């Protein structure tokens, strides 16, 4: 079971991922500089770190999507998100948003060219097993919803 894809419910993953850049931009504006430094709870990433994580993940998804299309049976390289987050303390939220938005546009352009046969193509995630290319797209959408929900909660708490 794909834990992120399950967050989609009956929503179309490509529609979700197409909407995310604007939703993030709106949340960044609502949060402002102070809100970007707030987190859901002690020990959790602040909003700015979540944005940085999304920028990194979008770059990773760009590679995974292209490798999956280029190789007969792509094996995804997992990464340690917490180790990557060690670099976020001085990262700029606006830069992270710009990277995320630009790479997302590039990924959406790629997805427009993918055939039904390619969406059904099998690849492997060492921690999750075999999955289809479509499941990677669903993961992207569910991952977006997960983090958008976190940022929305932080923004709501900041406004209260």
Which CATH number goes with the domain that contains 79? 1.20.120.450
Cα 99 to Cα 73, 75, 96, 109, distances in angstroms: 28, 25, 5, 15
Structure confidence at residue 1 as a pLDDT band (50, 70, 90) = low
Using CA atoms, how far apart are residues 118 and 74, in angstroms rounded to an integer? 12
In a domain, 85, yes or no: yes
In a domain, 7, yes or no: no
Q: Per-residue pLDDT tens for 47-70?
A: 999 999 999 999 999 999 999 999
Q: Which two tokens stand for residue 75?
A: 């094996």
Q: How many domains does the chain have?
A: 1
Q: In the predicted model, what is the mean pLDDT of the chain?
A: 95
Structure confidence at residue 160 as a pLDDT band (50, 70, 90) = low
In a domain, 6, yes or no: no
Residue 2's pLDDT is 75
Structure confidence at residue 6 as a pLDDT band (50, 70, 90) = confident
Kindly give, in sequence order, each residue whose CB lies less than 8 Å from that of residue 43, ignoring residues fewer than 6 positions away: none
Residue 85 has pLDDT above 90, yes or no: yes
Per 3-state DSSP, the chain is made up of helix, strand and coil in percentages (nearest 5) of 70, 5, 25
**What range does the domain containing 115 cover?**
13-159
In a domain, 3, yes or no: no
Residue 159 has pLDDT above 90, yes or no: no
- pTM of the entire predicted model: 0.94
């Amino acid at each position: 079971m794909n834990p992120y894809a399950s967050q989609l419910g009956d929503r179309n993953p490509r529609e979700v991922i197409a909407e995310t850049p604007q939703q993030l931009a709106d949340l960044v504006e609502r949060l402002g500089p102070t809100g970007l430094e707030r987190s859901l709870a002690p020990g959790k990433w602040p909003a700015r770190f979540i944005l940085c994580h999304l920028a990194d993940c979008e770059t990773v998804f760009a590679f995974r999507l292209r490798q999956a299309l280029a190789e007969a049976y792509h094996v995804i390289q997992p990464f340690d998100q917490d180790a990557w987050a060690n670099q976020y303390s001085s990262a700029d939220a606006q830069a992270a948003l710009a990277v995320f938005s630009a790479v997302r546009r590039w990924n959406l352009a790629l997805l427009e060219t993918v055939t039904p046969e390619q969406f059904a193509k099998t690849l492997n995630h060492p921690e999750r097993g075999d999955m289809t290319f479509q499941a990677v797209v669903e993961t992207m959408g569910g991952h977006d919803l997960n983090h958008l929900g976190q940022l929305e909660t932080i923004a709501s708490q900041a406004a209260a």
